[in-house]
Amino acid sequence: DTEVTQTPKHLVMGMTNKKSLKCEQHMGHRAMYWYKQKAKKPPELMFVYSYEKLSINESVPSRFSPECPNSSLLNLHLHALQPEDSALYLCASSQVWGHGTSSYNSPLHFGNGTRLTVT
Amino acid sequence: EDKVVQSPLSLVVHEGDTVTLNCSYEVTNFRSLLWYKQEKKAPTFLFMLTSSGIEKKSGRLSSILDKKELFSILNITATQTGDSAIYLCAVDNNNDMRFGAGTRLTVKP
């Protein structure tokens, strides 16, 4: 078990559905991340929130919409996905020291992921 | 563009062998280099390296960073079947954590 909790563990959705992935951490970390991981590939960064503000959006299609309601929660809203979006979606968090170009991160703590299948 | 390159991509050894995994990088605003082990689910943290030449050690695993030549190695001695996993190298580039492609290590009995 990890200190970053992701729900659901598995999700099957059709291309017209709207669903949300949830991530929660109570370690007081101020940076939270969404990664997408396809089989036999490394995690690919999607979004980074730092101090509850979106700091990085790696040109992710608009059918993926992140939300950070507070420092402990991170959501990923899904709408009109494609079958190629099927993957393991990993949430991670890290502590942040400093701001901007002088900031440093602790190692990432990962959740166990949500295995998403789009049919 | 920032790059993190791992080699080899795949490695098969027998129990008791020693392995060396490589990670080279080209990034702006380097902060630290991290090693993770991924089995079936979440990557788990192994080492965080920020200074050149200082070896970090945990049991049979050790790692070192060379900031002049921009690479790191991860050594595993006396490998066991439980070491079979994907080993990921990541670089913290000022609030952005980028991963290499990983090395898939298989340890045979």
Best mutation target, B95, B99, B105, to test chain A (most A CBs within 10 A)? B95
Q: Where are the alpha helices (DSSP H) in A1-119?
A: none
How far, in Å, CA of B81 to CA of B108, rounded? 6
Residue A1 has pLDDT above 60, yes or no: no
Any B CB within 8 A of A109 CB:
yes
Long-range interactions of A48-55: CB distance < 8 A, separation 24+: A48/B95, A48/B96, A49/A74, A50/A96, A50/A103, A50/B95, A51/A96, A51/A99, A55/B95
pLDDT at A96: 85
A112 vs B41, B45, B100: nearest CB: B41
Written as six digits, the tokens of A59 are 């040109």
Long-range interactions of A66-73: CB distance < 8 A, separation 24+: A66/A34, A68/A32, A71/A28, A71/A29, A71/A30, A72/A24, A72/A25, A72/A26, A73/A22, A73/A23, A73/A24
Per residue in A46-95, pLDDT (tens digit) is 999 988 999 877 789 999 999 999 999 999 999 999 999 999 999 999 99
Any A CB within 8 A of B34 CB:
yes
Comparing C-alpha atoms, which of B73, B96, B102 is closest to residue B2? B96
**Mean pLDDT score, A15-20:** 92
Task: Please work out, in degrees rounded to the nearest 5, the angle formed at the alpha carbon of residue A47 by the alpha carbons of A98 and A70.
Answer: 65
Residue A103 has pLDDT above 80, yes or no: no
The total of other beta-carbon atoms located within 10 Å of residue A63's CB is 14
Minimum Cα–Cα distance from B33: chain A residue: A107
**Mean pLDDT score, A12-22:** 94
> How many C-alpha atoms does A6 have within 13 Å on its Cβ side?
28
Query: How distant is the Cα of A50 from the closest Cα of chain B, in angstroms?
Result: 8
Contact assignment for B94 to A111 by CB distance below 8 Å:
no
Any B CB within 8 A of A56 CB:
yes
Per residue in B6-63, pLDDT (tens digit) is 999 999 999 999 999 999 999 888 889 999 999 988 899 999 999 999 999 999 999 9
